[in-house]
Amino acid sequence: MNRYVLVTGGAGYIGSHTVVALHQQGFVPVLVDDFRNANAIVLDGLEFILGQQPIVHRIDVCDKIALSTLFEQYAFDGVIHFAAYKAVGESVEQPLAYYHNNLVCLINVLSLLEQYQVPNFVFSSSCTVYGEPKGAKEVSEQTPKQLPESPYGYTKWMGEQIIADFYKSASHLKLMNLRYFNPVGAHPSARIGEFPIGKPNNLLPFVTQTAIGKQAKLTVFGNDYPTRDGSCIRDYIHVVDLAEAHVAALTFLADQKEGLLEAVNIGTGRGTSVLEIVEAFERSTNQSLPFEIGPRRAGDVIEIYANVQKGQDLLGWKARLSIEDAIRDAWAWEQFLATL
Ligand code: UD1
């Protein structure tokens, strides 16, 4: 029997890699995306990797009636919910668009989950719920959450709150918040990856776009932080590892008999500074990267990385790819994009 999994935002960066991981583990992913923030070219990439066309429905997840037709059509084993806006700066300029899109989509999915008795649900959350860690920079799921710095961050924080309250009213369901650290890299085939719209906000796409000449130079946002080299430290996780974490989460949920709600950090457990990323890129690709030191970026966390014990213990999952793998794959993807 087919094990259908609904993947909202399935044509996006993390969604598309998760579609591949689901397919490889014998699930049948059903993508829903309205391609507002995704490029249809990803479908060619998925077809190339999967060896068959993915199942795709062009639907806005905020349109509950349209979304409900999929729940009529497929007996889903579970839902992985990615569909959301994710740019921190843009969320400050357009808060209502962020709250509307990210929260309405989530509420639609949860209410259909309940209505159609779909037992398993995975939510795309973020380490942003921890804010700037007080004391230890390694955060576990027990580390107290803090109020976020941006409307984007609030949508993740509120998303977790909505799920917690929903669970109290529907405690037979099995729900998991995956708190991603910094996803980077691309599929090793270089046929799917990240498509930043306009000027990239995130570090690695800016690095690869600088190396290929789309951007003149990288600005390192501050080198006077209290870290080992003065630049900010993050936990960069290869998107293929991150995708596999979703399959591990879904498999774990499907095996549980009782309802539950859990949050799990998805990172590598290692912190890497911005300047270390620059050095690693130069080393891996054998070319120098033009960069300058600029002022700090408002709202940046200084240093954070994941405690990954719970992911190992509960899901039997841990990251296996390195930052060098991610840089190699992101660079191959950037070069592939240049051929289009
Ligand atoms: C932010 C969000 C995270 C969200 C992610 C999605 C917070 C605290 N973090 O991650 O929740 O999931 O965006 O997009 O809200 N940098 C430069 N130069 C650049 C770009 C970045 O130096 O041109 C530095 C940043 O200062 C930071 C690091 O690179 O130290 C990573 O930045 P970025 O890729 O934007 O991710 P976060 O800000 O960590």
- Regarding the beta carbon of 322 and ligand 1, being less than 6 Å apart is answered no
pLDDT in tens, 297-318: 988 999 999 999 999 999 999 9
181, with CB counted inside 10 A (0-12, 13-18, 19+), is: buried
229: Cβ–Cβ under 8 A, 6 or more apart, which residues? 223, 273, 275, 276
- Regarding the beta carbon of 209 and ligand 1, being less than 6 Å apart is answered no
Specify the pLDDT at position 89: 87
pLDDT in tens, 29-84: 999 999 999 998 999 999 999 999 999 999 999 999 999 999 999 999 999 999 99
Ligand 1 atom nearest the C-alpha of 148 is 15
Question: How far, in Å, from the CA of 127 to the mean position of ligand 1?
Answer: 11
pLDDT in tens, 239-281: 999 999 999 999 999 999 999 999 999 999 999 999 999 999 9
Tell me which residue has its CA closest to atom 2 in ligand 1. 128
Ligand 1 atom nearest the C-alpha of 294 is 22
For residue 320, is pLDDT > 90? yes
- Regarding the beta carbon of 92 and ligand 1, being less than 6 Å apart is answered no
Specify the pLDDT at position 198: 86
Question: How far, in Å, from the CA of 203 to the mean position of ligand 1?
Answer: 6
- Regarding the beta carbon of 88 and ligand 1, being less than 6 Å apart is answered yes
User: In the chain, what are the domain boundaries?
Assistant: 4-185+236-267
Catalytic residue (choose from 13, 98, 130, 152): 152
Tell me whether strands 138-139 and 182-184 are parallel, antiparallel or unpaired: unpaired
Question: How far, in Å, from the CA of 184 to the mean position of ligand 1?
Answer: 11
Question: How far, in Å, from the CA of 303 to the mean position of ligand 1?
Answer: 11
199, with CB counted inside 10 A (0-12, 13-18, 19+), is: exposed
Asked if 247 and 18 count as a contact pair (C-beta separation under 8 A), the reply is: yes
148, with CB counted inside 10 A (0-12, 13-18, 19+), is: buried
Specify the pLDDT at position 295: 97
3-state class (DSSP) for residue 200: coil
Helices (H) and strands (E) in the chain, counts: 11, 15
Q: Using pLDDT thresholds of 50, 70 and 90, give the confidence band for residue 202.
A: very high
- Regarding the beta carbon of 91 and ligand 1, being less than 6 Å apart is answered no
3-state class (DSSP) for residue 159: helix
pLDDT in tens, 153-186: 999 999 999 999 999 999 999 999 999 999 999 9
Asked if 239 and 13 count as a contact pair (C-beta separation under 8 A), the reply is: yes
**Rounded Cα gap, residues 8 and 81, in angstroms:** 5
Ligand 1 atom nearest the C-alpha of 299 is 8
Residue percentage of the chain with pLDDT more than 90: 95
What tokens does 254 get? 């499907």
Write down the residue that tokens 């290869």 correspond to: 238
Average pLDDT over residues 214-230: 97
Q: Can you name the CATH fold of 4-185+236-267?
A: Rossmann fold (3.40.50)
Average pLDDT over residues 109-136: 96
For residue 324, is pLDDT > 90? yes
Active site residue 152: yes
- Regarding the beta carbon of 232 and ligand 1, being less than 6 Å apart is answered yes
Specify the pLDDT at position 149: 85
- Regarding the beta carbon of 274 and ligand 1, being less than 6 Å apart is answered yes
Specify the pLDDT at position 298: 87
